[in-house]
Structure 1
């Protein structure tokens, strides 16, 4: 019997081939049982110690989740399901990018000494201080159907324009056959926070069309320079109306209570939780 907040048979069939299995050793708790515990945890936002007994020892679920996070297992699973969708032309490459602020719970702030024995972990643990206290920011690129293509986790005060380039460079959809992964969208839609000249130049260099409104101060500066100010950047107002798709994607991600509030101490674990939630959004759309 499938309980609430657990993987359906279809979701497990998509994820099962991508879960690493131990070749030797004593029999371990069922992979599906443990993954269900992870999904239950990020769905409800409870602490690891409070996981129901039906998922096995909480230490087992946490240890395996942490191992998968460090090995980027969920990132590979997300890319694999994207590759299957791209092979049948199911990805809309009209990509939207945006970010959202997530409040960090006090349990997330109880991190170890900065940078201590964590080569894969940023020194700040992607925790920043803003008006609301300790926060984390999720940067998201989604396709035209509102499904996540790439995620990036940073401190809450980090500006969107700084993270736009590394976010787009995280889009890597493997080809079904031979060839490099697809990394380049057809078009990028973003709000004014991404309207810097440097980011526009980066998109033009990669041959990516973009629909980004011009900031008021940029308009004023261009007008003040007269003929030397150049032409205004192209802007399709009708196309820009589709930017609400990324907002709806954030809304679905924040349906996971463990995503809407950050409880994980490390950035690696929190990003893995966001990636697992992104995989589930894809699994329910294919």
Structure 2
């Protein structure tokens, strides 16, 4: 198993406190199973193709689905991201994630949204994210691909941590968003839209730091089951995102 990914004991120790309690029969080795889940998500494998060293693929699949439904992976990500302390700077942006035909085959009618929409690029989902000044992810939101950046920002605005400033591209240039940031004591650094009659001033030198959130998206998309969505259910697909963010930024 030396050629395969395996969580180190220190990495496992950081995430173990957020695992749900086992009832009845003792749970299969957490280190091996969680490492196998990470391996599948990162390499974009089908569950049946997981290396035998990780154990039965049904065990990995069942653990991933069950913990996804319980929101375990998001409960791991949020506290670890919160331990970084209050950020001085925030960044917000969104990116599209391609939906495979298998993900789009679920019936549209249902209790929960699939978070899949149609744009000029085809069927996709949109991932909205907020990072700190170093490009480390703090908040995520998954919506259908056609949802505007404005709507994603409206949902994330209430969850923003305290900070001095927020960087965003001109897609977020809206009076309500600027005013909402100022009410929270956050100074917006957003280029004005081309149709604005009275362009707002922004710090062009500071704005150049916004590439860090783009780098974060690129790093997250290196995980193949995120770059291309195969999972039908939104909560199952979304669970892969905090797992990737935790591995890339919060347990290294």
TM-score by length of 2: 0.92
CA distance in 1, matches of 2:37, 2:44: 10
**4+ aligned runs moved over 3 Å, structure 1:** 1-6, 168-171
CA distance in 2, matches of 1:217, 1:11: 49
One of 81, 92, 95 as aligned partner of 1:97: 92
* Structure 1 contact 192–213 (Cα < 8 Å) conserved: yes
* Structure 1 contact 98–246 (Cα < 8 Å) conserved: yes
Q: Does 2:81 align with 1:114? A: no
RMSD over aligned CA atoms reads 1.9
* Structure 2 contact 92–128 (Cα < 8 Å) conserved: yes
Find the counterpart in structure 2 of residue 153 from structure 1.
142
CA shift for structure 1 position 184: 2.4
CA shift for structure 1 position 203: 1.2
- The structure number with the bigger radius of gyration is 1
CA shift for structure 1 position 159: 0.7
Find the counterpart in structure 2 of residue 225 from structure 1.
none
CA distance in 2, matches of 1:85, 1:196: 30
Gaps of 5+ in 2: none
Q: Does 2:213 align with 1:235? A: no
CA distance in 2, matches of 1:169, 1:55: 41
**Matched residue SS, 1:217:** coil
CA shift for structure 1 position 103: 0.8
**Matched residue SS, 1:106:** coil
Find the counterpart in structure 2 of residue 174 from structure 1.
none
One of 222, 229, 248 as aligned partner of 1:262: 229
The within-5 A match list for 1:7-46 is: 7-24=7-24, 26-46=25-45
CA shift for structure 1 position 284: 4.5
CA shift for structure 1 position 98: 0.6
* Structure 1 contact 81–282 (Cα < 8 Å) conserved: no
* Structure 2 contact 87–162 (Cα < 8 Å) conserved: no
* Structure 1 contact 142–150 (Cα < 8 Å) conserved: yes
CA shift for structure 1 position 47: 1.6
Find the counterpart in structure 1 of residue 6 from structure 2.
6
CA shift for structure 1 position 187: 1.3
Q: Does 2:234 align with 1:245? A: no
Find the counterpart in structure 1 of residue 79 from structure 2.
80
**Matched residue SS, 1:109:** helix
* Structure 2 contact 229–237 (Cα < 8 Å) conserved: yes
**Matched residue SS, 2:101:** coil
Find the counterpart in structure 2 of residue 226 from structure 1.
none
Count of matched residue pairs:
252
CA shift for structure 1 position 198: 1.6
CA distance in 2, matches of 1:3, 1:77: 26
One of 176, 185, 190 as aligned partner of 1:212: 190
TM-score by length of 1: 0.82
Find the counterpart in structure 1 of residue 59 from structure 2.
60
